[in-house]
Structure 1
Amino acid sequence: MGISIKNEEVEALARQLASRHGKGLTEIVHDALREKAAREAAEPTLWEKLAPIHAELAKAGSTGLVADKAFYDEINGEKERL
């Protein structure tokens, strides 16, 4: 399998890190991707971040108002067209 890096900056960074750490390009790319995946896995998902907000909104309950076309027309200053 192969991968072709067509970005000069990415290639230069990979070569710089490989040289600095005495590793090959494949190992450097592998390490970087593994570290990035681990960091992302440790971060809460968007749904986990939004859960407290959702819970707070759920406490408020329903207003009973209907958000239909007429509602949006009214708040946008549009009159019903007949």
Structure 2
Amino acid sequence: MAFSVKDKATDEAVRRLAKLKNTTLTEAIREAVVHEYDRAKRETPLHEKLEKIFEEYRSYPKTGLEADKAFFDDLSGDE
């Protein structure tokens, strides 16, 4: 199996990493991809983060007030 990197910046980044770690290009790519995969798997998905925000929002009591143009004008200091 082979990958062809046609992006100069990516090629340079991989070569810098391999040189820094004193390893091969293949090993540098493998370590970087595995590390990023593991990090991404640990990250809380966006929909879970948003659900927590929505739950908090839904917990606030309804005031019966409407946020109309006058409300937003007052917030921004407009008359």
- TM-score bracket, normalised by the shorter chain, equals 0.5 to 0.7
Q: Which residue of 2 aligns with 1:10?
A: 10
The 5 Å alignment of 1:1-82 reads 1-59=1-59
TM-score, scaled relative to structure 1: 0.64
TM-score, scaled relative to structure 2: 0.66
Give, in whole Å, the separation in 2 of the partners of 1:56 and 1:11.
45
Identity percentage over the alignment?
Answer: 30
Structure 1 stretches of 5 or more lacking a match? 62-82
Give, in whole Å, the separation in 2 of the partners of 1:8 and 1:46.
32
**What CA RMSD, in Å, does the superposition of the two structures yield over aligned residues?**
1.9
Q: How far 1:59 sits from its partner (Å)?
A: 3.9
Q: Name which one, 1 or 2, has greater alpha-carbon Rg.
A: 1
Structure 2 stretches of 5 or more lacking a match? 62-79
